[in-house]
Amino acid sequence: MNQMTPAPKPDLRALFDPKSIAVIGASNDTTKIPGMTLESLLKHGVDVPVCPVHPKLEEVQGLKAYPTVEAAAQAMGAAPELAIIVIPARAVPDMLESCAQVGVRAAIIITSGFAEEQGEEGAALQARVVEIIARHGLAVLGPNAQGYANFARALCCTFSPAVRLATDPLIPEWCEDGGRISVVAQSGALGFSLYDTGRLKELPYRFVVTTGNEAGVSAFDVVDHLLDEGGTQVFVMFLEGIRDAARFREVAERALRAGKPLVVAKVGMSAAAERSAASHTGALAGSWRANKAMFDAYGVTLVESHEELIDVAAAFMVNRHRLPKGRGIGIPTSSGGAGGWTADGCAAAGLEVPELEPEARARIDKFLPPYGSSINPVDGTAQAIGLIGNSELTRLTALSERVHGIVGVTSAINAAAFLKEGENFPRVGLGLEKPICYWSYTRPSRETYALFAKSGWALSTNLRHSTRAMAAMCAYAEAKERFRPPLPADAPPAPGEIETMTEREAKAWLHGSGVGGAPGGLATSAGEAATLAAALGRPAALKIQSPDIPHKTEAGGVALGVGPEAAAAEFDAMLARVKSRAPDAAIEGVLVEPMAPAGAQMLLGITRDPLFGPMLLVGAGGIYAEVLDDVALSPLLDDEAAALRLLQGLKTWPLLDGARGQAKADVPALVTLMLALCRFVSDNAARIEDIDLNPVVAHEMGQGVSVLDALVLRRAG
Amino acid sequence: MNQMTPAPKPDLRALFDPKSIAVIGASNDTTKIPGMTLESLLKHGVDVPVCPVHPKLEEVQGLKAYPTVEAAAQAMGAAPELAIIVIPARAVPDMLESCAQVGVRAAIIITSGFAEEQGEEGAALQARVVEIIARHGLAVLGPNAQGYANFARALCCTFSPAVRLATDPLIPEWCEDGGRISVVAQSGALGFSLYDTGRLKELPYRFVVTTGNEAGVSAFDVVDHLLDEGGTQVFVMFLEGIRDAARFREVAERALRAGKPLVVAKVGMSAAAERSAASHTGALAGSWRANKAMFDAYGVTLVESHEELIDVAAAFMVNRHRLPKGRGIGIPTSSGGAGGWTADGCAAAGLEVPELEPEARARIDKFLPPYGSSINPVDGTAQAIGLIGNSELTRLTALSERVHGIVGVTSAINAAAFLKEGENFPRVGLGLEKPICYWSYTRPSRETYALFAKSGWALSTNLRHSTRAMAAMCAYAEAKERFRPPLPADAPPAPGEIETMTEREAKAWLHGSGVGGAPGGLATSAGEAATLAAALGRPAALKIQSPDIPHKTEAGGVALGVGPEAAAAEFDAMLARVKSRAPDAAIEGVLVEPMAPAGAQMLLGITRDPLFGPMLLVGAGGIYAEVLDDVALSPLLDDEAAALRLLQGLKTWPLLDGARGQAKADVPALVTLMLALCRFVSDNAARIEDIDLNPVVAHEMGQGVSVLDALVLRRAG
């Protein structure tokens, strides 16, 4: 191949919707992975030519086998579009090269023993695979992947027992559009268990894709392709590490704009999980806070368990076209106790349970016995539900203008109770303009699950999953409504050394780009200090300037509230102090600035995440910053409203907002400073390692903000 | 009956283990509750005489029926011990009276239409029932209860479909001791659904008791009786409201000392839930914080969903004899991704996932392939687990001295994988001295559930339930170890009016009982103020004293840092200010106290909970108290260590503990003050409505604390 020819673009259509398949390594032993993989394809009636490739066998599982992929291609009349490779790791790179030479466009490498292994050999093998993929522009899942299932075609390119041993139809009978939920998982075991568990709840899956070591196609590449494919309504993702921040941002934005929620489990909240990810797939977990901030910005829902993952995805599936327009929840129930408990769950999830207005109550009261209640929770009691059904009680509750969504309680052990409601059940479920999430305190039969899913009612057996699904839908609706892309921060760090700028240099650089005020004057003698101080017309702050002294206070290099008459003496005293404590520091002089008026102490900064690059940090300043850990992280913002929300999310926000009769701080000025800083950093992303504006004092409303100190670590560019 | 004879003690043995039963109202219509109740008894082969009572029918469900309870008693040769009453509400009180007259000792009133109804009639009926119960000393469940099931005797005194329609044996076949988990629920629907859901996980229930309106026997009476009965190992409770704080304390203490955990769902975290409880059973939910504080003190585990209730109870069942001795968790897994995610769950639950020590790793490494890891999570990979089994991987992980408990991950869809491990599986499960909680990312078969339960392995399908069960066991072990009964606070409030004491009166009263220092001198003239101020030897605080001015600052009644020369003028100025703002206030004078040295501002107080009586409140003082809501509540403590832990739980604890190089505060003095206050309040519980010591300044270590202001609301006694 001519090295100058650019590699073609990977063809994910050939990977996920192939017209012909070779299974390389397929055998007759269906207790081993190579045999299982072919068995799985055949069992579900693969609808395109499949050709086993095996060095010795002439027939495998009833199909004629060929010794090489070339021979197979010749026999098939054309190269197979997809090669599933299940041979020893050492033989994989050469085989992949052969496939590419023959014209194969896509591959699944199920074999493990690559980057996930300790030691050099696996890493070297993976590097070879990466190189071959790039050179030929192949679409490759794995290595160390369990493959995928494309349920719309009953195409099971995987050895997973979840589909290989499946006795149920792969897609529930009630669903006729080829499935609506797709799983994209970096862990094979978890990926297919999400199918297995959700299938028992009669949920319609479209794709399960496991990406393994991601030498070629990444989880977000898969989502991107499935957005093109179009049939997926909700994505369920299990992520250990994100490899490419720009690709995440691009695909997450596409999904958000398309109204296709990403419901994600992300490993890596804890140090032990980071250890685990590093040893398991060689992926960098990245900082948890940065991940969370990115997910929030793009409306990605984070969940805590695989059962919650499924329940939240199911809730989005039936409700995504009628997301809540507010946080007021109506709770129809037949059990008073369970209703109260659901209200607790709503409160814990940040939802509200308003008392219904009199008109709404009157509509319900007509049907209630004296021991029922229409206040909300709406305790219909078994009697009223027997009379008007869950459907009608739900509809009447949703009629309240204070209600934006329904979290109902029922006992769904038998479908009969709901079948009895006839056409009303799907009419309300599919027709209501407000989202419906029910939970059952008994375990629903599969018939009940199917009835609920096809009738537009989300059903869970976990109260907290239902309330958190509703809260997730609120957050998603808000994120979708408010979304403005963060500023780009994708430039890789410049290769130069990291230099510590002095406060004066840093302030001057920032000020030149509209971030903060100009630095004060630099005194290099006691006389200059006196002159500069006198010119201020108010007491001065004197601060030593040296690239070798990032922490001025500790070095004796700060004097506050210095009057003009004392400035010269203070200059001399400071230099003596600093020289005794840091004798080798190169000293540029002493910065003379006016003392700032009082206000709320904040900190504002930029921190470079290893994955996502520079991110904005804002928090309470002073001693409470450390004690309370009251900081918020965000991608670089270009959006006043988002900056304001970031501040409002701080524990100490009430102090800025005039708690206990204090003056309100100049939040608009603080927001302006935040946005200016973000623009500056986006423009200089390669060079910014770290910025720490601390403290930033937010004065009274209208009085602006003062950046009292600035520390910048900059890469030579 | 002679009114002077004291009523006999309720006989809960007759209620829960009766020798004969009358079903009053039983009919042949098994689609209605009265018929269902008898059907349920008969279906499961009730082992004592059962007699239907019906005004008209001569035979009910194949049994001879009698028109009255008197006739039934005559026919049976003695009064039935237990009467199950399923007749219209209006007829219940007379029937209960008749039962008592005949000699019936216990009853279940299934009928609803009592205190849970809106309106006067139900309340009046319940009042009559309460009176009859008290007069005769009856043991009565209900009204509005679903009855109970005593599974050890297959005795199902309930119409609940969960047992009436049960096709499985009531107790799993693997369990031969009559069941180990008992459910005590104030909601009938929830109570039996907990059985239903747990039975599908092959858990062995001993009793399910639903208490309804609790006109007689309360949920805690039931627990008390079942502690006597002895067979229950873990209690699962669903509570809407606690009616009797003293009874809760008594029974919770008994259960804790017996090592029988109470795992509780409590409705009432939110305002809407309180509304619901009030309208549903007429119970006061009480303050959520007070409930939580009480539960913490008595080692009661609170959970968030009915599935978590079951999973946590199951974990206690197999692990309660080997509670964790620390928070270090070992995570054996066959899936790296799931292992990392489990580590995240541990971190979120306050557990730790330590790296294993080299010796422990070496023992594991022998069996690992190169893509496994023994660091922790211990990723055994499918290969090592195939080689040595889950049992051995778990045992080797638990051998680490850094590991105090196991939270493992597996796929438990088929029992075969674990049956293959033969005797090793129960040997490790039952023999290990550290607790074991596993979660499965596939849905276990019932065979797997049974195998795990009988072999001493807890099994859940929810990662977070497993990690929270382990954390709950840690907290329970600590509570059990540390338990000292809080001081009594059960005196009902004295009937007198509530009076506001002046700061000087309050301080004098408290000081007289060893709480805080003596108040300063009271100046009633400018001259006295000057004299008192001069005697202090340091600047003074001047504070107006009036029972009509609880908030002195707002009334202009506080002057701080007043030198002796300014005291007289300040006295006159203060009186003028106060008189202009509060012209009608009765003024006793001006308190002259020395300004206190600096320190950490705290608040210390007593708040009267409507259910639990006076409780201790401690928190950060100053503006942050309100903004951060940084307060902790506790029963009245008699235990230095518990008081210290309360302080350590505050968000701002680091400020007391010398964060950022600040001086450590005199925490021992603060603890002494807390305990003195608690003793004082316990001694005066009837008269204390509210105490607010704010601020209390904790000076540097060794310098003690100063109570700068004291507000006491006292009932005339």
- Write out the DSSP string of A353-386: -PPPPHHHHHHHHTT--TT-B-SSSEE-HHHHHH
Is the residue at A511 inside a domain? no
Are residues B267 and A413, on separate chains, in Cβ contact within 8 Å? no
Question: In chain A, positions 222-251, which contact chain B (CB-CB < 8 Å)?
Answer: 238, 240
| Residues contacting A202, CB < 8 A, separation 6+ | A172, A174, A446, A449, A450, A453
**Is residue A688 a contact partner of residue A714, using CB atoms and an 8 Å limit?**
yes
Q: Average pLDDT in the B418-426 region?
A: 97
Question: Residues B344, B454: one domain?
Answer: yes
Q: Which of B288, B64, B18 is nearest to B156 (CA)?
A: B18
> B-chain residues within 8 Å CB-CB of A331?
272
Is the pLDDT at A3 greater than 60? The verdict is: no
Identify whether A411 is part of a domain.
yes
B246, B111: one domain: yes
In a domain, A316, yes or no: no
The reply to whether A206 and A187 lie within a common domain is yes
Query: Rounded mean pLDDT of chain B?
Result: 94
Do B562 and B681 belong together in one domain? no
Question: Which of A133, A300, A120, A97 is closest to A218 using CA atoms?
Answer: A133
Taking the Cβ of residue A373 and every Cβ of chain B, the question of whether any pair is shorter than 8 Å is answered with yes
Q: What is the mean pLDDT of residues B556-566?
A: 94
Which band of pLDDT confidence, cut at 50, 70 and 90, is reported for residue B285?
Answer: very low
Q: Is the pLDDT of residue B307 over 70?
A: yes
Select from A344, A346, A411, A553 the residue whose CB has the most chain B CBs within 10 Å, as the one to mutate to test that interface.
Answer: A344
Best A126, A441, A464, A623 member to test B by mutation, with max B CBs in 10 Å, is A441
- CATH number of the domain bearing residue B444: 3.40.50.261
- Helix or strand or coil: residue A491? coil
Among A98-102, A143-147, A378-382, the minimum mean pLDDT is found in: A378-382
Q: How far A383 CA lies from chain B's nearest CA (Å)?
A: 12
Mean pLDDT across the stretch B86-91? 96
The arithmetic mean of pLDDT across residues B562-588, rounded, is 95
A391 lies in the same domain as A530 = no
Cβ atoms of B434 and B404 within 8 Å: the answer is yes
A327-343 tens-digit pLDDT: 999 999 998 899 999 99
pLDDT digits (tens, 9 = 90+) for B629-665: 888 999 999 999 999 999 999 988 998 998 877 789 9
CATH number at residue A204: 3.40.50.720
Inter-residue contact A574 to A557 (CB < 8 Å): yes
- A156 burial (CB, 10 Å; 0-12 / 13-18 / 19+) is buried
CA distance B29 to A529: 101
The CATH number covering residue B546 comes to 3.30.1490.20
- CB contacts of B370 in chain A (<8 Å) are 113, 117-119, 122
Are the Cβ atoms of A441 and B344 closer than 8 angstroms? no
pLDDT, one tens digit per residue, over A407-455 is: 999 999 999 999 999 999 999 999 999 999 999 999 999 999 999 999 9
CA dihedral for A5, A6, A7, A8, sign (positive or negative)? negative
Residue B278, pLDDT > 60, answer: no
A655 and B189 within 8 Å at the Cβ level: the answer is no
The answer to whether the CB of B551 falls within 8 A of the CB of A661 is no
Cβ of A370 within 8 Å of Cβ of B118? The answer is yes
Q: Distance between CA B60 and CA B49 in Å, rounded?
A: 14
Q: Average pLDDT for residues B137-148, to the nearest whole number?
A: 96
Structure tokens at A160: 């997973």
Q: Which residues of B touch A308 (CB under 8 A)?
A: 462, 464
**Together in a domain, B269 and B165:** yes
Compare A492 and A388 and report the one with higher pLDDT: A388
**Among B633, B628, B625, CA closest to B295:** B633
What pLDDT does residue B284 have?
41
Chain B contacts in chain A segment 131-170 (CB below 8 A): 161-162
Provide the 8-state DSSP code for A317: H
Of A186, A341, A355, the CB nearest to B337: A186
Token pair, residue A413, equals: 């052990």
> How far does the CA of residue A188 sit from the closest CA of chain B (Å)?
9
Give the pair of three-digit tokens for residue A394.
């739900």
**How far apart are alpha carbons A91 and A94 in whole angstroms?**
6
pLDDT score at B339? 95
Task: Say yes or no for a CB contact (<8 Å) between A626 and B659.
Answer: yes
pLDDT value, residue A276: 65
Segment B115-126, tens digit of pLDDT: 888 889 999 999
Is B268 within 8 Å of A659 when comparing Cβ atoms? no
Specify if B6 maps to a domain: no
- Determine the pLDDT at residue B438: 98
Q: Tell me which of B302, B331, B353 is where a domain ends.
A: B302
Task: Identify the pLDDT of residue B596.
Answer: 92
3-state secondary structure of A580: helix
B347 contact residues in A (CB cutoff 8 A):
269-273
B391 and B533 share a domain? Answer: no
The number of domains in chain A is 4
Nearest CA in chain B to A629: B651
User: What type of residue sits at position A55?
Assistant: P
**Residue to substitute from A305, A311, A443, interface B, most B β-carbons within 10 A:** A305
Identify whether residues A444 and A462 lie together within a single domain.
yes
Asked if the model's pLDDT at residue A90 lies above 70, the reply is yes
Query: What pLDDT is recorded for position A118?
Result: 80
CATH number at residue B685: 3.30.470.20
Q: Is the pLDDT of residue A524 over 70?
A: yes
Distance from C-alpha of B410 to C-alpha of B421, rounded to nearest angstrom: 14
**Residue B280 pLDDT more than 50?**
no
Q: Are A104 and A212 part of one and the same domain?
A: yes
Q: Each residue of A705-716: pLDDT tens digit?
A: 999 999 999 998
Q: Is A9 on the interface with B (CB under 8 A)?
A: no
What is the spatial distance between Cα A62 and Cα A58, in angstroms, rounded to a whole number? 10
**A694: which DSSP letter?**
E
Write down the pTM of the prediction.
0.95
Q: Is residue A116 part of a domain?
A: yes
Extended strands (E) in A548-598 = 558-562, 589-594
What pLDDT does A4 receive? 56
Which of these, B155, B218, B206, B202, lies nearest to B179 by C-alpha position?
Answer: B206
Does B265 contact chain A (CB < 8 Å)?
Answer: yes
Searching chain B, which residue's CA lies closest to the CA of residue A658?
B627
A489 assigned to some structural domain: no
CB distance A249 to A299 below 8 Å: no
Q: Per DSSP, which regions of B539-687 are E strands?
A: 540-545, 558-562, 589-594, 600-609, 613-620, 631-634
Residue B98 in contact with partner chain A when CB distance is under 8 A: no
Does A429 reside within a domain? yes
Residue B308 lies in a domain: no
**What is the ipTM, given to two decimal places?**
0.93
Percent of residues, chain B, with pLDDT higher than 70: 97
For residue B661, the model assigns a pLDDT of 73
For chain A, say whether B402 makes contact (Cβ under 8 Å).
no
- Tokens representing B197 are 């859901």
| A109, A126 Cβ separation under 8 angstroms | no
Domain's final residue, options B560, B594, B628: B594
Cα–Cα distances (Å) from A361 to A16, A372, A400, A435, B246, in that order, read: 53, 12, 8, 20, 39
DSSP A660: G
| Record: contact B196-A413, CB cut-off 8 A | yes
The answer to whether A464 contacts chain B (CB < 8 Å) is yes
State the best of B118, B192, B193, B276 to mutate against chain A, taking most chain A CBs within 10 Å.
Answer: B276
| Interface contact B648, partner A, CB < 8 A | no
**Are residue B372 and residue B448 in the same domain, yes or no?**
yes
The yes-or-no verdict on residue A303 having pLDDT over 60 is yes
Phi, psi (5° rounding) for residue A703?
-100, 0
Task: Tell whether A383 lies on the interface with B, counting CB pairs under 8 A.
Answer: no
Other Cβ atoms less than 10 A from the Cβ of B12: the count is 20
Q: In this structure, are B569 and B692 located in the same domain?
A: no
DSSP per residue, A440-453: ESSPPPHHHHHHHH
Give the whole-angstrom CA distance, residue A683 versus residue B276: 56
Order of all β-strands in the sheet with B50-53? B50-53, B21-24, B82-85, B106-109, B139-141
Q: What are phi and psi of B13, to 5 degrees?
A: -60, -45
Of B305, B338, B662, the CB nearest to A187: B338
- Residues of chain B in contact with residue A337, where contact means CB-CB under 8 angstroms, are 185-187, 189-190, 238, 240, 267, 280-281
Q: Is B362 on the interface with A (CB under 8 A)?
A: no
Residue matched to tokens 């009926």: B125
Q: With 90 as the cut, is the pLDDT of residue B626 above it?
A: no
State the DSSP code for B511.
Answer: H
**Residue A594 pLDDT > 50:** yes
Cβ–Cβ below 8 Å for A411 and B659: no
Residue A589 burial by Cβ neighbours in a 10 Å radius (0-12, 13-18, 19+): buried
Measured between its terminal Cα atoms, the distance across chain A in Å is 38
The partner residue sitting opposite A626, judged by closest CB among B442, B623, B660, is B660
Q: Which residue is associated with the tokens 């903060």?
A: A516
Residues 11-50 of A with CB under 8 A from B: none
Q: What is the pLDDT of residues A24-60, one digit of tens each?
A: 999 999 999 999 999 999 999 999 999 999 999 999 9
Q: Which residues of chain A neighbour B305 with C-beta distances below 8 Å?
A: 345, 462-465
C-alpha span between B468 and B462 (Å, rounded): 10
> How many Cβ pairs within 8 Å bridge chains A and B?
275
Q: Give the residue among A289, A293, A273 at the shortest CA–CA distance from A281.
A: A273
Q: Tell me if A190 and B338 make a contact (CB, 8 A cut-off).
A: yes
A280: pLDDT strictly greater than 50? no
A657 touches B at CB < 8 Å: no
Average the pLDDT over B494-504 and give the result: 92
What pLDDT, on a 0 to 100 scale, did the predictor assign at position B277?
A: 60
Tell me what pLDDT residue B282 has: 40
Residue with tokens 């027992």: A161
A627 CB within 8 Å of a chain B CB: yes
| CA closest to A273 among chain B residues | B340
Is B270 near chain A, with CB under 8 Å? yes
A420 and A461: one domain?
Answer: yes
Beta-carbon contacts of B255 under 8 Å, excluding residues fewer than 6 positions away, are: B223, B227, B235, B261, B262
What angle do the packed helices A188-199 and B336-348 form, to 10 degrees?
Answer: 80
Question: Does the pLDDT value for residue B273 go beyond 90?
Answer: no
Q: What is the pLDDT of residue B433?
A: 98
The answer to whether B55 touches B80, Cβ cutoff 8 Å, is: no
Angle, helix A288-297 to helix A245-258, in steps of 10 degrees: 30
**Four-point Cα dihedral A494, A498, A503, A506, nearest 10:** -10
- DSSP-based three-state secondary structure for A246: helix
Q: Which residues of A touch B340 (CB under 8 A)?
A: 240, 267-268, 272-274, 276-277, 280
Q: Please give the residue range of the domain that contains residue A328.
A: 321-482
Single out the residue of B66, B75, B77 nearest to residue B23, CA to CA: B66
- CA-nearest residue to B350 within chain A is A270
Element (H, E) at A302: strand A301-302
Given A117, A122, A270, which is nearest B346 (Cβ)? A270
- Both tokens of residue A254? 């596409």
pLDDT at B281 over 50: no
DSSP assignment of B252-310: HHHHHHHT--EEEEE--SSHHHHHHHHHHH------HHHHHHHHHHTTPEE-SSHHHHH
Q: Which residues in B lie closer than 8 A to residue A292 (C-beta atoms)? A: none
Instruction: State the pLDDT at residue A282.
Output: 40
DSSP B665: B
Q: Which residues of A touch B271 (CB under 8 A)?
A: 347, 353
- CB–CB of A347 and B660 under 8 A? no
B189, B240, B370 member nearest A118 (Cβ): B370
Domain boundary among A594, A617, A647: A594
Nearest-Cα residue of chain A relative to residue B307? A462
